[in-house]
Chains A and B, each alone.
Chain A
Amino acid sequence: GAVVSQHPSRVICKSGTSVKIECRSLDFQATTMFWYRQFPKKSLMLMATSNEGSKATYEQGVEKDKFLINHASLTLSTLTVTSAHPEDSSFYICSARDASGTDYEQYFGPGTRLTVT
């Protein structure tokens, strides 16, 4: 099946620093990738939709200057949390939609646990 990787799986950073999270589709091309945030015991919250070669579409309430998304190729999207604060600590999950697929299934990465101290 389709595989999506995320790196790093865990990161601890100091308040005020920036953190970059990578999302890669390993065996398929993804014209669209999604970034989610999940709080403990909560469902996934869509942050933004990332389209290859164009600007990401952010959901209402998500600061685009704080959560920078770049989708430079058909297999890579990055999320950069700028000037991180403790309230940004969360589980960030990406997913990718197979460009050749017809069922619109999203394949999820394993997630990145971000802790801001």
Chain B
Amino acid sequence: GQNIDQPTEMTATEGAIVQINCTYQTSGFNGLFWYQQHAGEAPTFLSYNVLDGLEEKGRFSSFLSRSKGYSYLLLKELQMKDSASYLCAVTDSNYQLIWGAGTKLIIKP
């Protein structure tokens, strides 16, 4: 079966750094996405990785290791507005998105 695992909830302090991990087992791989979703809103795109390595975009970075079926989203200089759910999603061999359950990130002052 297809499976994506990410922690259910994480807590971090404003100004700090947090890493949200995602492991996946899917039938084929055509890219991995990270989305941010605030409560009651639709997801917004954060990053896309299809090759191994680190992609940096401002305060957010995403890393991918295809051989390990592993990705992480790194958030630096945390702000209160970063409190949200972070969804990991993998595009499988049919180019369908397989979603993780999301990680709820709580930022404390």
Please determine whether A104 and B43 come into contact, CB atoms closer than 8 angstroms. Answer: no
Taking the closest CB of chain A, its distance from the CB of B37, in whole angstroms, is 9
> A107: nearest residue on chain B (CB-CB)?
B45
Residues of B within 8 A of A105 (CB): 33, 45, 48
Proximity bits, A42-73, B CB within 8 Å = 1, else 0: 11101001000000000000000000000000
User: What residues of chain A lie closer than 8 Å to B101, measured between beta carbons?
Assistant: 42-43
* Cβ-closest chain B residue relative to A94: B42
The 8 closest A-B pairs by CB, nearest first: A111-B42, A108-B42, A43-B101, A43-B99, A43-B102, A93-B42, A110-B42, A44-B99
- Distance between A96 CB and nearest chain B CB, rounded to angstroms: 12
Q: Is B41 in contact with A111, judged by CB distance below 8 angstroms?
A: yes
Inter-chain contacts of A111 with B (CB < 8 A): 40-42
Set of chain B residues within 8 Å of A109, measured between Cβ atoms: 42
What mask results when residues 1 to 35 of chain B are scored 1 for a CB within 8 Å of chain A, else 0? 00000000000000000000000000000110101
